[in-house]
Chains A and B, each alone.
Chain A
Amino acid sequence: MAAFIVRRLVQSIVVMLVVALIAFVLFNHVGDPINNMVGQDTTVAEREALRERLGHNDPSYVQFLRFVGNAVRGEFGISYRLARPVEELIAERLPATLELSLVSAVLAITLGVAMGVFTALNRHTRLSWLSQGFMSLSLVGVSLPTFLIGILMIYVFSVELGLLPSFGRGDTVQLGWWSTGLLTASGRKALVMPSITLALFQMTLIMRLVRAEMLEVLRTDYIKFARARGLTDRAVHFGHALKNTLVPVITITGLQLGTIIAFAIITETVFQWPGMGLLFIQAVRFADIPVMAAYLVLIALLFVGLNLLVDLLYYAVDPRLRIDARLGATGH
């Protein structure tokens, strides 16, 4: 087990180095940040001096090695756009993105699993119309682009009904370095639309996955035997069927959680949510290379970490893996 984790950690360092390297190759094509950093009247000589100071005249590999050297010490340089240390910016924006992502993930998982189970169990019951309704709704969720859903919600709930704020995070409370919007009314109100927008796609995905898996499992022999033993529907559905449905669901959900954080970019842009996604998209527009580099490495770290977590959850859910591991430990 410990060896497994160490191996995975070493792998993750390699992955992050590769991500950083690819990022640096790409940075040659993102455009020139210098023109954004100075006014139109700035002379060529001043621009050239700035380029030299920023080290942009060095070959890519030198810039890459310098980046890795600094990153190891936890330094990611100064943002070209905001003239502040990147690690400070990320620490400032991380809470906003994580709160949004976690609320979205909870929404997506609870509603997704619930609706998935419901639609699987109610194919031919009195409630099949509701189950049909959920299925149609899920089509909308899968097919409409996120930004469109966001803007539609803004027009309905902010402009027409005036119920929810159209942008931003509302008032936040500072808990140490962590800023939270969950403790104020305006912060919670501001969270409603962005989290639903962000959750919608994952929710429908999870719902359809749970439904398909559940239907699959309900056809298996052990479910039939369980029914033959006279177990209640409740025990059959939730004790046996749902539990066995969850293994693939955990994999997908774990990976999707990373996607939620990584792709919060669009939702954050639409709602002017001051998180890392917005920081990143503005960095791209500005060619703010230090921020882009740090963000990409951070997202790589996140995915690697989530994958590890998913693998560990397997141990918890699937007893077969635990047995394998014990056998491995005894020397087979």
Chain B
Amino acid sequence: MHPRLTAVAAAAVLAVAAHPASAETLRFAFQGDVGTLDPHGLNETFTLGFQGNIYEGLTRRGSDLAIEPALAERWEIVEPTRWRFHLRQGVTFHNGNPFTADDVVFSAERTLKDGSNLVTRLSGVAEVVKVDDHTVDFVTKVPNPILISDWDTWYIMDKEWAEANDTAEPTSASDTSSENYANRHANGTGPFMVTVREPDVRTVAVPNPNWWDEATHDLTEIVFQPIASDPTRVAALLSGEMDLVYPVPLQDVQRVDGNPGTTALTGPELRTIFLGMDQSRDELLYSSVAGTNPFKDRRVRQAFYQAIDTDAISRVVMRGQSTPAASMVAPGIIGFPEGLARHPFDAEAAKALLAAAGYADGFEVTLDCPNDRYVNDEAICQAVVGMLGRVGIKVDLLAQSKVQYFAKVLDTGGYDTSFYLLGWTPGSFDSWNALHNLVGTRNTDSGRGTFNLGGYTSPAIDALADRILVETDLEKRDALIDEAWQTLHEDVGYIPVHQQALSWGVRDGVELAQRADNVFSWRFVTIGG
């Protein structure tokens, strides 16, 4: 049966290749290329999102980000620390190999090897046990209610294919000898198959005729080409060479919308942009205040918070394409605190708070800011400088490219900052991820608080986070999360700024789903009609 299927696949490929210019070819551009085709090589949104069209996980996410069964038909928690997955039967990889429990166990092993960047997907898993050919048990170290929340981007590889091509270990840049086969070749179970991969130039895929699910798209070919330069990317859409380009710079959104034949598709993204303050050192590294750290005083933090007019930033800097935020996670993240409202913008109140804290004349501090990472990041920082200037705080802005910025402010640079701008999307779409990484007291052994660059610490929130991790009653869990966010809000541990907007430019006639995590799923696209 397999040779015949392969022949059908080959015929389909040929048929497609014979009509490359047919109406159902989707051409799209992004600002950068996929890091690698290896599903365990790089934990990065665009790379994993792209791979998700080719490879599949046990679960997947729909256009509304709801978790759906994919390679696992269903699953149950047989014991608090044992999850059982019933695998979908009759699924084949692109090369015709059948998908079985061995592939799942193999993928888990591969994910945990040196060079894999997706170790976190399985960090709570103690053991993966094959029960039979179509049943796999995952044994966790502790009860974990959100075990599978990020498994939609943990992809399953074909064991036979990987071993035959000597790619049983993931692609890593530290391989100094030769290139890993899986870096430019793919063999998944997903709705599309890669036919051409030229890094930085183009990647071409065609539909998988043997896909287990019913295809709702009408594509016959997908051509992806990275275009790094913003104006060129927009021009490629306006000239009709592209069906979809993203991101569209904010200043071009109107132009794309006003142009006959193209539309700008905007929506809130799951990433929250915020400001953080060094609250751990006894004296700030970059400030005029000697002998003490003003950010240890809650009143100073609140003064900074209330001095910043996020509505003005949204209106002027972001041209309306942002949503001012009160919490560190976006709507759509599990545990988003709906009841939370921002401390109101009030420059007078800020001045009074500063005076009460003993800084009536203000002080000087340096703001670290990336200039090529988030939408209009440097402009946001400039606005913050002006707003704080009005309440007497003199902010020196140090805006750098992301490679230099992150080298300075992250753990590897020794958290070398006093005041910084950062953005965060919880990889699991769950509040716990943000509480653990951004808010938790820094702890090198457990990895808690790695991105808590200001060293904020709250024993109460740490205790809550520990309970949230193992609480299986979802209602109770939500209440705990809410309490944690409330505590952080009252403590002014961070200054949330906004959720930036996604902005995609789409040719009229192309129907697609814009997911809030900025992932482009080809299977929701229709062009014909």
Q: How far is the CA of A34 from the CA of B407 in the complex (A)?
A: 9
**Given A42-B43, A83-B183, also A158-B241 (CB < 8 A):** yes
Partner of A35, one of B38, B180, B406: B406
Q: How many residues of B contact A (CB 8 A)?
A: 63
Asked if A146 is an interface residue, CB under 8 A from chain B, the answer is no
Interchain CB contact under 8 A, A41 and B427: yes
Partner of A155, one of B120, B235, B405: B235
Q: How far is the CA of A175 from the CA of B119 in the complex (A)?
A: 42
Task: Note all chain A residues with C-beta closer than 8 A to B69.
Answer: none
Interchain CB contact under 8 A, A278 and B238: no
In the complex, 7 of the A-B residue pairs with CB atoms within 8 angstroms, ordered by the A residue number, are A32-B413, A39-B118, A42-B119, A47-B412, A159-B239, A168-B201, A285-B403
Identify the closest chain B residue to A37 (Cβ): B173
Interchain CB contact under 8 A, A35 and B241: no
Residue-wise, chain A 20-64 has the 8 Å CB interface mask toward B (1 for contact) of 000000000111111111111111101101110110000000000
B residues 397-449 in Cβ contact with A at 8 Å = 401-407, 410-413, 424, 427, 433, 437, 444, 447
Asked if B189 is an interface residue, CB under 8 A from chain A, the answer is no
Residue-wise, chain A 131-171 has the 8 Å CB interface mask toward B (1 for contact) of 00000000000000000000100110011001001111100
Contact segment of A106-114, A208-216, A223-231, A264-272? A264-272
Identify the closest chain A residue to B400 (Cβ): A31
Asked if A305 is an interface residue, CB under 8 A from chain B, the answer is no
Q: How far is the CA of A120 from the CA of B416 in the complex (A)?
A: 61
Partner of A151, one of B117, B119, B171, B231: B231
Partner of B403, one of A46, A50, A286: A286
Asked if B98 is an interface residue, CB under 8 A from chain A, the answer is no
Given A151-B231, A287-B403, 13 further pairs, Cβ under 8 A: A33-B403, A39-B120, A41-B433, A41-B437, A43-B450, A54-B173, A154-B235, A166-B236, A166-B239, A167-B227, A272-B225, A272-B229, A285-B372
In this complex, the member of B42, B179, B184, B232 whose beta carbon has the largest number of chain A beta carbons within 10 angstroms is B232
Task: Note all chain A residues with C-beta closer than 8 A to B413.
Answer: 32
Partner of B240, one of A30, A84, A162: A162
Residue-wise, chain B 182-220 has the 8 Å CB interface mask toward A (1 for contact) of 011000000000000011111000000000000000000
Partner of B175, one of A83, A88, A281: A83
Q: How far is the CA of A281 from the CA of B229 in the complex (A)?
A: 11
Q: How far is the CA of A271 from the CA of B231 in the complex (A)?
A: 10
Asked if B251 is an interface residue, CB under 8 A from chain A, the answer is no
Interchain CB contact under 8 A, A31 and B178: no
Asked if A240 is an interface residue, CB under 8 A from chain B, the answer is no
Identify the closest chain B residue to A172 (Cβ): B201
Partner of B43, one of A41, A54, A168, A272: A41
Identify the closest chain B residue to A155 (Cβ): B235
Task: Note all chain A residues with C-beta closer than 8 A to B184.
Answer: 84
Partner of B41, one of A40, A47, A83: A83
Asked if A274 is an interface residue, CB under 8 A from chain B, the answer is yes
**Given A35-B407, A42-B117, A47-B412, also A83-B171 (CB < 8 A):** yes
Asked if B226 is an interface residue, CB under 8 A from chain A, the answer is yes
Give the Cβ gap from B250 to chain A, nearest Cβ, in Å. Answer: 18
Asked if A251 is an interface residue, CB under 8 A from chain B, the answer is no
Asked if B228 is an interface residue, CB under 8 A from chain A, the answer is yes
Interchain CB contact under 8 A, B42 and A37: yes
Residues of A within 8 A of B (CB): 29-44, 46-47, 49-51, 53-54, 77-85, 88, 151, 154-155, 158-159, 162, 165-169, 269-272, 274, 278-279, 281-282, 285-287
Asked if B172 is an interface residue, CB under 8 A from chain A, the answer is yes
**Given A42-B117, A79-B173, A84-B199, also A166-B225 (CB < 8 A):** no
Partner of B451, one of A30, A32, A40, A82: A40
Interchain CB contact under 8 A, A278 and B239: no
Task: Note all chain A residues with C-beta closer than 8 A to B226.
Answer: 272
Q: How far is the CA of A285 from the CA of B405 in the complex (A)?
A: 12
Give the Cβ gap from B35 to chain A, nearest Cβ, in Å. Answer: 7
Task: Note all chain B residues with C-beta closer than 8 A to A274.
Answer: 198, 200-201
Interchain CB contact under 8 A, B406 and A42: no
**Given A40-B427, A82-B199, also A271-B239 (CB < 8 A):** no
Asked if B140 is an interface residue, CB under 8 A from chain A, the answer is no
Asked if B59 is an interface residue, CB under 8 A from chain A, the answer is no
Interchain CB contact under 8 A, B43 and A159: no
Partner of B179, one of A44, A80, A84: A84
**Given A44-B447, A83-B175, A158-B241, also A35-B403 (CB < 8 A):** yes
Interchain CB contact under 8 A, B228 and A43: no
Interchain CB contact under 8 A, A166 and B235: yes
Interchain CB contact under 8 A, B411 and A44: yes
Interchain CB contact under 8 A, A159 and B227: no
Q: How far is the CA of A278 from the CA of B31 in the complex (A)?
A: 13
Task: Note all chain B residues with C-beta closer than 8 A to A281.
Answer: 228
Asked if B36 is an interface residue, CB under 8 A from chain A, the answer is yes
Task: Note all chain A residues with C-beta closer than 8 A to B424.
Answer: 40
